[in-house]
Structure 1
Amino acid sequence: MFGRNKDKVTAEPTAAETPASNEPSSGGKGAPTPRRNEQVARNKRPLVSSDKKERREQERRRRIEAQERLRLANETGDDRYMMPRDKGPQKRFARDFVDARWMIGEFLMIIIFAFLIVSFAFVDNLAVQANVTIALWVVLLVTILDAFIMTRQLKKRLVAEFGHHERGVLWYAAMRGLQFRKMRLPKPMVKRGGAPRD
């Protein structure tokens, strides 16, 4: 007697809770599920911007940052951001060795310019022209001899300090010795008469 009523009471909420299959659900999306390749394509972001103007701006910023790092490295002696030709402990030792000396080669351009002025001033005087030519050759020979002596001394110091000398370091030092001190890059880190840094 009570069993039938009980079945009716329990059956009614179940029917009420189950929505009709033909009625649209409020929580449904109302569209078919997109395929996986469509989702992947939609979520892709280009690693390089497709905008040419933006790409150029990014490249310009990177170039400016690299130039700024190089400028600071040349001023502070930071080996990490220097150009490859200036990197390495032996190159740094060679720079300091040259910068600590007086080199005739660093004044070579000034001497040549002075000889040219004298030569043009006395263009009709053959004796002066001959003397200027001889003096110029003497200065060139003394410059070469000074660079040769410096590189021999540097080679001994490099072998004593590092056990060997790398290829190209002596030429690197000779070329630096031909530059005016204030125009050398990287900038000198030691004073004249000083010792190379450790």
Structure 2
Amino acid sequence: MSEHNDQPGGKGRPTPSRREAEAARKAQMKKANTRKDQMKAQRAMRDSAREKQRRALAGEGSAADLPSRDRGPVKAFVRDYVDRRFSVAEFLLPLLVLMLVLSTVGGEWGSVVVVYLWMATILLVGLDSVRLVVGVRRQIRTRFGAEHVRGTTSYALLRSTQLRRFRLPKAMVPRGAPLKERY
């Protein structure tokens, strides 16, 4: 037994030599640099993945790089189904701006026009949304099966409310184009 253990309050081991202490300190510093390098590499990987995803959303990259909510043949079909048709909901924002201008500038007649325009807009958006949902669900059942319908309704409705030029992933089919047979 060592005499270091006999002392009260002793550390239980011999004091390291200067050479050992310097080697341990240098090894610790190398670990710190390694951690820093690991963080840089992780950041570079995240940036690369983010850039791939951005390119895929812009229509330039691979479908595998899309976010998980946009991946798969069913979602691609829903995007094409929505993008190939005119939707009343996509013109909702410009109509709301027009109504705001009419209500502030038009005086009494402007307010009356805004009320009727607002009611007509709500009715048309509702009818168009029902038509969109029924059409998408029917097409998905026939092309992919009933088990793939879940989650596509909200995806189609949200996409139809966005202005076509600001949709992500970017619209890839022209308006009025026929639907592809296979996705």
Does residue 142 (structure 1) correspond to residue 124 (structure 2)? The answer is yes
Contact in 1 for aligned 2:141/2:149 (Cα 8 Å): no
Highest Rg: 1 or 2? 1
Which of 41, 45, 54 pairs up with 1:58?
41
Asked if the contact 2:52/2:61 (under 8 Å) is kept, the reply is no
Q: 1:170 aligns with which of 139, 153, 162?
A: 153
Q: Give unpaired runs (5+ residues) of structure 1.
A: 1-41
Residue type matched to 2:56 in 1? A
Conservation of the 8 A alpha-carbon contact between 1:154 and 1:170: yes
**Residue correspondences, number:** 150
The amino acid of 2:110's aligned partner reads V
> Can you give the 5+ residue segments of structure 2 that lack an aligned partner in the other structure?
1-26
Cα RMSD (Å): 2.1
**Residues in 2 aligned to 1:55 and 1:114: alpha-carbon distance in whole angstroms:** 53
- Give CA-to-partner distance per residue, 1:86-143, whole Å, 9 cap, x none: 1121111000000000111111100100110111113xx3342132122112102211
Q: Deviations over 1:158-193 (max 9, x none)?
A: 111112233110110111000000100001111111
Structure 2: distance between partners of 1:104 and 1:95: 16
**Which of 107, 129, 135 in structure 1 is aligned with 2:111?**
129
Q: Which one-letter code corresponds to 1:87 in the other structure? A: R
SS of 2:34's equivalent in the other structure is coil
Alignment partner, residue 73 of structure 1: 56
Measured after TM superposition, the shift of residue 64 of structure 1 is: 1.5
Cα offset, 1:50, TM superposition:
2.4
Among all aligned residue pairs of Structure 1 and Structure 2, give the percentage whose two residues are the same amino acid: 30
Q: Is the 8 A contact 2:133 2:157 kept in 1?
A: yes
Mapped to 1, the partners of 2:149 and 2:34 lie a distance apart of 44
In the other structure, the counterpart of 1:109 is 93
1:161 matches 2:143: yes
Residue 71 of structure 1, CA deviation: 1.6
**Consecutive aligned runs of 4 or more in structure 1 exceeding 2 Å deviation:** 48-51, 54-60, 76-79, 125-128, 195-198
CA contact (8 A) 1:105 1:177 kept: yes
